[in-house]
Structure 1
């Protein structure tokens, strides 16, 4: 009987020593789902003056990561991610806001977007007639 009590105590202490760090690590983990569960959404935006991305040298570039949380060098990452989520990542769905007035000056601006949106490859190019028109599309995705 005495050996049984020793083995029970030793087994209990061993289980506590092995399981306690695991339980501590589990409770220290964030409550939200791990980032590995999110499909990646990371984009690179470039801007240059000219007719086509093939003939334009980019003047500005920013990064935008939307999953698991908004980040990157985009100046309005949170609102840009919210807007892209609202249109399902379809950059063509971003239309000119009402009430914005731009001159008819033709000074073409080319925007390119390359990367991954929710695990799907994105390659987008669009030429706007000027920067005002570009900035008026959506609420902030192209404002960088």
Structure 2
């Protein structure tokens, strides 16, 4: 009869587990967007949500939809698609009351996204939302 020590058995099991862990590919977290990340974006004057039929469709794989799509996709990827979490820019905006309302709906990371916010003017909107609503910027 063959006798295996407990120490040898544990070592063999540990080696087998390590081998299996190395053999299984780990999912890569690249921080990039998924092919299903999209937002329909619209900006309109006043305090009512704009008609999204006249908006722009932002797609992020590859970035397209408006002139600053690459910047917008990068900013959205950094906050997992949560527009309200985009860090505000440190800019000086004129104290001009010309309200605009930004609206977005779509899907990011498999989750639905809805965002509507009225800002005192376009400068404040850009300071709070980065490139996401820069639909007419060069």
* TM-score past 0.5 threshold: yes
Answering whether residue 83 of structure 2 is matched by residue 91 of structure 1, we say: yes
CA RMSD of aligned residues (A): 2.0
Inter-partner Cα distance in structure 2 for 1:105 and 1:62? 26
Question: Larger Cα Rg: Structure 1 or Structure 2?
Answer: 1
TM-score (norm 2): 0.66
Cα distance change of structure 1 residues 70 and 58 upon mapping to structure 2, 3 Å threshold: closer
Aligned counterpart, 1:135 = 126
5+ long unaligned stretches in structure 2: 1-33
Aligned length: 102
**SS in structure 2 opposite 1:75?**
coil
5+ long unaligned stretches in structure 1: 1-37
Q: Deviations over 1:53-96 (max 9, x none)?
A: 1xx55695211111x32122x11111110110001111111243
**SS in structure 2 opposite 1:52?**
coil
Aligned counterpart, 2:56 = 62
TM-score (norm 1): 0.63
Task: Work out whether residues 48 and 58 of structure 1, in 8 Å CA contact, stay in contact via their aligned partners in 2.
Answer: no
